[in-house]
Amino acid sequence: MMRTKSIVINSNSKNDTSTISATTALRRSASNTTPSAAVVRTNDLNKKPRPRSVEFPASPQLVQGEEMVHFGHPQHVLVKVELPDIYTCAGCKEEGAGVRYVCQECDYQLHEFCALAPPQLKSHPFHYQHQLLFFAKPAKGGIVKSKCDVCGRSPKGYTFRCKACSFQMHPGCAMLSPSLSSSSLHHHPLRLLPSSSAGSTTGGDSGGFLCGECKRGKRTGRVYRCTVCDYHLHAVCAKDAAVNGLRANGHKGRDKSPAVLGTAARLASQVVIDFLGGIIDGLGEGVGEAIIDGVTRGGGGGGGGNGGGTRVIPRVRGG
| Domain co-membership, 217 together with 267 | no
Contacts of 206 (CB under 8 A, 6+ apart): 193, 223, 225, 232
11-15, 127-131, 148-152 — which is least confidently predicted? 11-15
| Domain co-membership, 283 together with 218 | no
| Domain co-membership, 11 together with 112 | yes
Strand partners, 96: 87
| Domain co-membership, 230 together with 285 | no
Q: Tell me what pLDDT residue 255 has.
A: 57
Q: Tell me what pLDDT residue 144 has.
A: 62
Q: Is the pLDDT of residue 134 over 60?
A: yes
Q: Does some domain include residue 143?
A: no
Q: Distance (Å, rounded) from C-alpha 74 to C-alpha 60?
A: 17
| Residue, of 299 and 128, whose pLDDT is higher | 128
Q: Tell me what pLDDT residue 146 has.
A: 87
Q: Is the pLDDT of residue 203 over 50?
A: no
Domain's final residue, options 105, 121, 137 = 121
How many CA atoms lie less than 13 Å away from 38 in the CB half-sphere? 5
| Residue, of 29 and 147, whose pLDDT is higher | 147
Domain's final residue, options 121, 155, 188 = 121
How many domains would you assign to the chain? 3
| Domain co-membership, 16 together with 92 | yes
Domain's final residue, options 228, 247, 266 = 247
116-120, 145-149, 314-318 — which is least confidently predicted? 314-318
The answer to pTM > 0.75 is no
| Domain co-membership, 268 together with 242 | no
| Residue, of 295 and 133, whose pLDDT is higher | 133
Q: Tell me what pLDDT residue 293 has.
A: 53
| Domain co-membership, 6 together with 117 | yes
Q: Does some domain include residue 115?
A: yes
Q: Tell me what pLDDT residue 66 has.
A: 81
Q: What percent of the chain lies above the pLDDT cut of 70?
A: 53
Q: Chain-wide mean pLDDT for the chain? A: 69
Mean pLDDT of 151-163: 94
| Residue, of 51 and 178, whose pLDDT is higher | 178
Mean pLDDT of 172-191: 89
Q: Say which amino acid occupies 278.
A: G
Quote the domain boundaries for residue 269.
Answer: 256-319
Most confident stretch, 134-143, 204-213, 282-291:
134-143
Q: Distance (Å, rounded) from C-alpha 194 to C-alpha 174?
A: 16
| Domain co-membership, 240 together with 261 | no
Evaluated on CA atoms 112, 169, 128, 6, the torsion sign reads negative
| Domain co-membership, 262 together with 225 | no
Report phi then psi at 293, rounded to 5: -65, -40
Q: Does some domain include residue 172?
A: no
| Domain co-membership, 278 together with 222 | no
Mean pLDDT of 294-302: 45
| Domain co-membership, 42 together with 78 | yes
Q: Does some domain include residue 239?
A: yes
Q: What percent of the chain lies above the pLDDT cut of 90?
A: 38
Burial of 232 (0-12, 13-18, 19+ CB in 10 A): buried
